[in-house]
Amino acid sequence: MTVQTRSEGPVRGRWIDDWRPEDESFWQGGGKRVANRNLWFSVFSEHIGFSIWTLWSVLVLFMPNEAFGLDVAGKFFLVAMPTLVGSFLRLPYTMAVAVFGGRNWSIIAAALLLVPTILAAFVVQPGVSYTTLMVLAAIAGVGGGNFASSMTNINAFFPDRHKGYALGLNAGGGNLGVAVIQLLGLLILATAGGGVTGIRILLGVYIPLIVVATLCSALFMDNLSSVRNDTGALKEATTQAQTWVISFLYIGTFGSFIGYSFAFGLVLQNQFGRTPLQAATLTFIGPLLGSLIRPVGGWLSDRIGGVRVTFWNFVAMAVAALLCIVASGQQSLALFVVGFTLLFITSGIGNGSVYKMIPAIFRTKALAAAPADPDAALLWARRISGAVIGIAGAIGAFGGLLINLAFRQSFLTVKSGVPAFWAFLAFYAVCFVVTYLVYMRRPKAATDPTTGSTVSYASV
């Protein structure tokens, strides 16, 4: 393995030219150490990115209606805007890894987080127009793009046998940024109060953290030369039917996680009459548990199969949505928080299991199509998997927008989130039916050259 600094294409940086993670001697001889180092600093940068992406779900708690003139519908639109922009940005962020290199793009992506943070610190104040707030919220969408580039980059560093755990840890550590910024917001609300002062304290914490994340990416991460060959993978991935099936399932898992993360505080305020401080004491619990359990979803999938975990997890999500409906009818805050927290936990498990499925499905597909040339098949599978991670991440994030719009319409029409929860339950039912029909009923099979065993979609 060689690491060298050289000029290649439009960038200059630290590049690794020889990278063979599937080779056990290579992996144990130094590859594992390098991959883990890149993973941990990727987690840190992505963590900050998620915090900035969900920044506005916290800021609206600091913006009293009498000072900022925001109604319920206006707040739901405001927190939905970063979700929309972040989902679109995930596609170019995915391609950026192949164009610039994983390390180089991590530096740029982290530095871009300064833009929405500094702007909000100076511009957000009573009397500012709603249009200005919407623009600021849209710019915060850059935090959502970090996930796609980070996951695509880390996917290339790890062998297939460790991808479920590595991708789950990378994503879970990133998702944890949602809970952390909500906890910090709670602390500031309880001590300094809301309004402009509280907003600037919150942003003042994150500005130096963004600078640290940028410096750490520059000092401790690497580029992989082999990834520079992946520039056409995104286009090719769009021709694969499995790309769209996985993306649909990821709407149900990650779309739920990010959508509920943005909406939970507003739902508590408007359905159960909680004050911003009371809502903030509860909103962090779900994202915290959902983030922490995401690596468990990947770990379970490594051992019993991502398809099985995904199928039963969607069944559990439907049950959790039904629990929220029952709690809403009884006006039981305690039962509602339990149901909503279960939605976060199951969405976290599903995030890990669906992302574990991606490299395994394309590995199985490639080996079945080209059994005589397993090396070429595995290279194709790695390239396409990295692209599919980006596409699924973008479409899954768009699901978060749909959840916020569903809640907005539900509260506008019946002043309750119950119709939205019925829609979510129906969607989860469709997801577990699709998982069964596509991956469990008649699974494709192939021989894995590294183990000599037969693998199928049902076992991935």
What average pLDDT does this structure show over 274-283? 86
Structure tokens at 308: 């099985």
Characterize the bridge pairing of strands 11-16 and 3-8: antiparallel
Sign of CA dihedral 438, 443, 447, 451: positive
Distance CA 88, CA 344 (A): 23
- What are φ and ψ of residue 373, in 5° steps? -135, 70
Q: Report which of residues 283 and 419 the model is more confident about.
A: 419
CA distances, 256 to each of 159, 259, 288, 428 (Å): 29, 5, 14, 10
Residue 158 backbone phi and psi in degrees, to 5 = -110, 145
Residue of higher predicted confidence among 4 and 288:
288
Per residue in 86-111, pLDDT (tens digit) is 988 988 998 899 889 999 999 999 99
Give me the mean pLDDT over the 39-48 stretch: 96
Give the least confident one: 18-22, 86-90, 258-262, 446-450: 446-450
346-389 confidence digits (pLDDT tens): 999 998 889 888 888 888 888 777 666 777 777 788 788 878 88
Neighbour-count burial of 140, counting CB atoms closer than 10 A to its CB (0-12 exposed, 13-18 middle, 19+ buried)? buried
Q: Average the pLDDT over 437-459 and give the result.
A: 56
> Using one digit for the tens of pLDDT, what is the confidence trace for 323-351?
999 999 999 999 999 999 999 999 999 98
Instruction: Provide the pLDDT confidence category of residue 181 given band limits of 50, 70 and 90.
Output: very high
Terminal alpha carbon distance of the chain: 30
| Higher local confidence (pLDDT), 457 or 407 | 407
Query: Between the CA of residue 381 and those of 133, 152, 263, 300, 363, what are the distances in Å?
Result: 43, 13, 37, 22, 5
Closest CA to 179 of 267, 256, 76, 290: 290
pLDDT band for 1, please (50, 70, 90 cuts): very low
| Beta bridge mates, 3 | 16
Q: Which helix (H) or strand (E) holds 7?
A: strand 3-8
Given the DSSP bridges, would you call strands 223-224 and 445-447 parallel, antiparallel or unpaired?
unpaired
Grade residue 229 by pLDDT with cuts at 50, 70 and 90.
low
Torsion 255-363-46-345 (CA) sign: positive
Most confident of 16-20, 111-115, 270-274: 111-115
Read off the DSSP letter of residue 284: T
- pLDDT at residue 455, as a whole number: 46
Q: Give the span between the Cα atoms of 301 and 352, in whole angstroms.
A: 8
Would you state the pLDDT for residue 460? 52
pTM over 0.95: no
Q: Are 324 and 336 in contact (CB under 8 A)?
A: yes
Q: Is the pLDDT score of 449 beyond 50?
A: no
> pLDDT-derived band of residue 113, with 50, 70 and 90 as boundaries?
very high
**Calpha distance 115→58 (Å, rounded):** 18
